[in-house]
Amino acid sequence: MNTVIAVAIVFGSIVTLVALVCGTVVLLVRARREGLSPSRRQQRNDEAAVIQELYQGLARMEKRVEALETILMEGQGKDGRDNEKL
């Protein structure tokens, strides 16, 4: 009885694996043949532009933070105290 269950599990797994591989191949072929629709292509271009703007903004922010760190380091004395007068 246990061998029958084991054989059923093995064959069921093989059938499932074959179906999964075939489905993946069919989807890849269909996607390759049809390509991207114009609206989807425009959406990807818009997303890329937003990501580039975010990256540039973060780069500018990083430069500002570095400048502030430099100002703060120059403001501290050699003994670690602040040179600012209140």
What residue segments make up the domains of the chain, in order of their start?
A: 1-35, 39-77
Contact 77, 83 (CB under 8 A): yes
Higher-pLDDT residue of 1, 84: 1
For 12, 20, 28, 52, the CA distances from 6, given in Å and listed in that order, are: 10, 21, 33, 54
pLDDT tens track for 26-81: 888 887 777 767 788 888 899 999 999 999 999 999 999 999 988 888 887 555 56
Would you place residue 84 in the very low, low, confident or very high pLDDT band (cuts 50, 70, 90)? low
